[in-house]
């Protein structure tokens, strides 16, 4: 069997608490990130992603603390994104216990940032996070019809999303977190058209994000070319479990990880 | 137990995982302590050339050499495994680097459609492996674009009593996923990120020290 499709819960963290709202607005508190991370680890999550949505820089210290405490007790890969602007930010997150760092706006503002992070820490630490939507009739068109957005999808950039993903991979991004802003919050399924379009252009792994609402939404994302699937609210509010998603993927013929190992006892 | 501290990246997880399975762990590059430890774990995150440079900056080549000469266990993880080979074809703006050369062979880019090889994969464990005891059928977490794809070391008499045990995995091509060779063991995957399966594997290493 090939490498397993990864199932990744995403926790939006604001000043040390998990939140998630429809289209990143109307945020609802869903608990303690460390406790949630531990629960997801026990449920069989293949990785964890923290998206730091903390607005005030003074509260960002709590993010490092949450990362540290999570890495102390959860032994699966941890990606942390949100507000990462400098090589020093990346270094500090890695030293706190993150394995990968998600970069979004800072790379759009200055694409060389991708090269700098990849050169210093290796391509595998950099997850290029792209918030993508179809071009609006009242906005500038792009060649592919998809554009990159910022500010949680509220602001278009006019940057061609497919060309941007290809450029990011060429500059050294080790993975692309592809978030469809058209699908995000709809719970109507992943954006298979977008996933397939990016898959045709890049050879780094793709994490599909946005639109998950039911187990049957996951296999089409993988069939379209996703190597991993990410969701937030459907997991946090108990609509779906990691195991149910893996059952659906396995039933569709995709490899998944099911561990039977038990933690080794300390002597 | 010493986890060799020679560069940036996340090495906390390796320390914490060893502690979780019962080890007394120190993160240091101190020569005496690294030489005296019951086991030396050589982590490795990032580029081959950066890891080789970082290792040499703390005299890591000497530490590994001296420990192995005395039969003292060393475990290399990820790029910490790759540096045990002769060299790597991974591009470097400042030119190629020689590895530690404990094993013959070159670390080469995986010929797969999707690279890096990122995620949980199965391994093909040889009979008699102590490292994988009890977790032969588990998946482990890999993150890498390069790997040794040929194992060429064949011991000759009088050193052939204990042949190296080589575990393979596949991503685009078969590659070396782990080696148990006398006191020098290594994994291309990250046991410290492989959940309970990884914990058991590290416990297995501690058990032979």
pLDDT, one tens digit per residue, over A84-135 is 999 999 999 998 999 999 999 999 999 999 999 998 888 889 999 999 999 9
A113 occurs within a structural domain: yes
A106 occurs within a structural domain: yes
What is the residue range of A194's domain? 6-251
Please report which confidence band the pLDDT of residue B8 belongs to, taking 50, 70 and 90 as the band edges.
Answer: low
**Number of domains composing chain A:** 1
Please report which confidence band the pLDDT of residue A1 belongs to, taking 50, 70 and 90 as the band edges.
Answer: low
pLDDT at B101: 97
A174 occurs within a structural domain: yes
Give the minimum alpha-carbon distance from A6 to chain B in angstroms, rounded to a whole number: 7
A260 occurs within a structural domain: no
Give, as one character, the DSSP assignment of residue A238.
Answer: T
Q: What is the β-pairing status of strands B140-144 and B117-121?
A: antiparallel
- Evaluated on CA atoms A83, B7, A175, A40, the torsion sign reads negative
Judge whether A259 is closer than 8 Å to chain B, CB to CB.
yes
Nearest CA in chain A to B206: A267
Give the minimum alpha-carbon distance from A63 to chain B in angstroms, rounded to a whole number: 16
Nearest CA in chain A to B9: A94
Cα–Cα distance for residue pair A186/A188, rounded to 1 Å: 5
- Which range has the worst mean pLDDT, A55-59, A131-135, A175-179, A261-265? A261-265
A-B C-beta contacts closer than 8 Å: 144
Nearest CA in chain A to B194: A76
pLDDT at A263: 64
Task: Give the closest residue to A164 by CA, choosing from A178, A182, A152, A153.
Answer: A178
pLDDT at A264: 57
Q: Contact B20/A75, CB-based, under 8 Å?
A: yes
CATH code of the domain in which A61 resides: 3.20.20.70
Residue written as tokens 């978030």?
Answer: A179
Quote the percentage of chain A above a pLDDT of 90: 70
Give the minimum alpha-carbon distance from B188 to chain A in angstroms, rounded to a whole number: 14
Cα–Cα distance for residue pair A179/A192, rounded to 1 Å: 11
Q: Which element (helix H / strand E) includes B196?
A: helix B195-208
A124 occurs within a structural domain: yes
Q: Which element (helix H / strand E) includes A90?
A: helix A87-96
User: What is the per-residue pLDDT across B9-22, written as a single tens digit (0 to 9) for each?
Assistant: 778 889 999 999 99
pLDDT at B154: 83
What is the reported pTM? 0.94
Task: Give the closest residue to A91 by CA, choosing from A113, A111, A120, A112.
Answer: A120
User: What is the per-residue pLDDT across B25-37, written as a single tens digit (0 to 9) for each?
Assistant: 999 999 999 999 9
Give the minimum alpha-carbon distance from B171 to chain A in angstroms, rounded to a whole number: 7
Mean pLDDT of B94-103: 94
Q: What is the β-pairing status of strands B146-148 and B106-109?
A: antiparallel
**What one-character-per-residue DSSP string does A220-237 give?**
HHHHTT-SEEEESHHHHT
Please report which confidence band the pLDDT of residue A146 belongs to, taking 50, 70 and 90 as the band edges.
Answer: very high
Residues of A that are catalytic: 12, 131
User: Which of B16, B117, B122 is nearest residue A71 as measured by Cβ atoms?
Assistant: B16
User: What is the per-residue pLDDT across B155-208, written as a single tens digit (0 to 9) for each?
Assistant: 878 777 778 999 999 999 999 999 999 999 999 999 999 999 999 999 999 999
Quote the percentage of chain B above a pLDDT of 70: 100
Residue A243: count of CB within 10 angstroms of its CB: 13
A264 occurs within a structural domain: no
A127 occurs within a structural domain: yes
- E strands in B110-197: 117-121, 140-144, 146-148, 165-170, 174-181, 184-187
Please report which confidence band the pLDDT of residue B127 belongs to, taking 50, 70 and 90 as the band edges.
Answer: very high
- Evaluated on CA atoms B90, B92, B98, B101, the torsion sign reads negative
At B202, phi and psi to the nearest 5? -70, -35
- With 90 as the cut, is the pLDDT of residue A75 above it? yes
pLDDT at A20: 62
pLDDT at A265: 55
A87 occurs within a structural domain: yes
Contacting residues of A for B115, CB less than 8 Å apart: 203-204
Residues of B that are catalytic: 78, 190, 192
Q: Contact B20/A263, CB-based, under 8 Å?
A: yes
Residue A147: count of CB within 10 angstroms of its CB: 24
Contacting residues of A for B50, CB less than 8 Å apart: 122
């Amino acid at each position: 069997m090939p490498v397993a499709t990864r199932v990744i819960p995403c926790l939006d963290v604001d000043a040390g608490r998990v939140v998630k709202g429809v289209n990143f607005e109307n945020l609802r508190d869903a608990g303690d990130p460390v406790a949630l991370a531990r629960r997801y680890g026990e449920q069989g999550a293949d990785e964890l992603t923290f998206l730091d949505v903390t607005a005030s820089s003074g509260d960002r210290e709590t993010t490092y603390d949450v990362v540290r405490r999570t890495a102390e007790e959860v032994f699966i890969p941890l990606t942390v994104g949100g507000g990462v602007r400098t090589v020093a930010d990346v270094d500090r997150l890695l030293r706190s216990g993150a394995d990968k760092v998600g970069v979004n706006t800072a790379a759009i503002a200055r694409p060389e940032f991708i090269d700098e992070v990849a050169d210093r820490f290796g391509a595998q630490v950099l997850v290029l996070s792209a918030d993508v939507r179809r071009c609006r009739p009242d906005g500038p068109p792009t060649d592919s019809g998809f554009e990159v957005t910022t500010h949680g999808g509220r602001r278009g950039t006019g940057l061609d999303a497919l060309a941007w993903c290809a450029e990011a991979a060429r500059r050294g991004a080790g993975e692309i977190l592809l978030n469809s802003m058209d699908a995000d919050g709809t719970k109507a399924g992943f954006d298979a058209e977008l996933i397939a379009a990016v898959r045709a252009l890049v050879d780094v792994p793709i994490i599909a994000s946005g639109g998950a609402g039911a187990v049957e939404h996951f296999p089409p994302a993988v069939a379209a070319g996703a190597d991993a699937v990410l969701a937030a609210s459907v997991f946090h509010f108990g609509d779906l479990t990691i195991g149910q998603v893996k059952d659906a993927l396995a039933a569709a013929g995709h490899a998944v990880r099911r561990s039977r190992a038990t933690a080794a006892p300390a002597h | 137990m010493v986890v060799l501290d020679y560069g940036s990246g996340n090495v906390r997880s390796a320390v914490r995982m060893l502690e979780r399975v019962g080890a007394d762990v120190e993160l240091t590059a101190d020569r005496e302590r690294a030489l005296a430890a019951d086991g030396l774990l050589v982590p490795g995150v990032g580029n081959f050339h950066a890891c080789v440079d970082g290792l040499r900056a703390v005299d890591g080549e000497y530490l590994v050499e001296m420990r192995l000469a005395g039969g003292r266990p060393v475990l290399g993880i990820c790029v910490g495994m790759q540096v045990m080979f002769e060299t790597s074809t991974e591009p470097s703006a400042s030119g190629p680097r020689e590895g530690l050369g404990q094993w013959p062979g070159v670390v080469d880019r995986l010929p797969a459609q999707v690279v890096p090889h990122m995620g949980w994969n199965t391994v093909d464990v040889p009979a008699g492996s102590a490292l994988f005891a009890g977790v032969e059928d588990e998946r482990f977490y890999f993150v890498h674009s390069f790997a040794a794809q040929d194992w060429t070391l064949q011991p000759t008499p009088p050193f052939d009593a204990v042949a190296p045990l080589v575990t393979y995995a596949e991503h685009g091509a078969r590659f070396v996923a782990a080696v148990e060779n006398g006191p020098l063991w290594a994994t291309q995957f990250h046991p410290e990120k492989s959940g309970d399966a990884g914990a058991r594997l590290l416990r297995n290493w501690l058990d032979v020290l």
